[in-house]
Amino acid sequence: MSSVRVGDALAPLEIPLTRTLIVATAIASRDYQDVHHDPALAVERGSKDIFMNILASNAMVERYVKGWAGPSVRISRLKVRLGAPNYPGDTMTLTGSVSAVDGETVTVAVRGDNSLGAHVIGSVTVELPDLVAAGGAA
């Protein structure tokens, strides 16, 4: 990545929210809360269905930014706030834009929306070696 400017947009990424994805990511992160894998118990606890856990949401945001920044990126900070649940059968669309550039440090504002609204809003700060910031700094 040779240059990055504040306001640069990342290409959107659509993630189909399958039941398998939601259950698998909960198990992979060792989150055995029944609301992430048992539809009947999720409903009993007040949800309309199982829903994605926060660790999976964090991973999706990280995947999104790393997909844009490339394999040599180092994430130094990931900060998110959850909103509407990610339920099976929906799609989450991640969007983002560069919100700050300071030398090789770049902050990306990220948002993930589903049919209910904003699922995740946050920012990811990365260190990009070989970055030439817009304006000439190397």
For 41-73, write each residue's pLDDT tens digit: 999 999 999 999 999 999 999 999 999 999 789
What are the pLDDT digits (tens) for 11-36? Answer: 999 999 999 999 999 999 998 888 88
The mean pLDDT of 90-111, rounded to a whole number, is 97
Average pLDDT, the chain: 92
Beta-sheet pairing, 74-82 with 90-102: unpaired
For the whole model, what pTM was predicted?
Answer: 0.89
Q: What is the pLDDT, as a whole number, of residue 1?
A: 55
Q: Where are the strands (E) in the chain, listed by range? A: 3-4, 9-17, 74-82, 90-102, 105-114, 117-127, 132-133
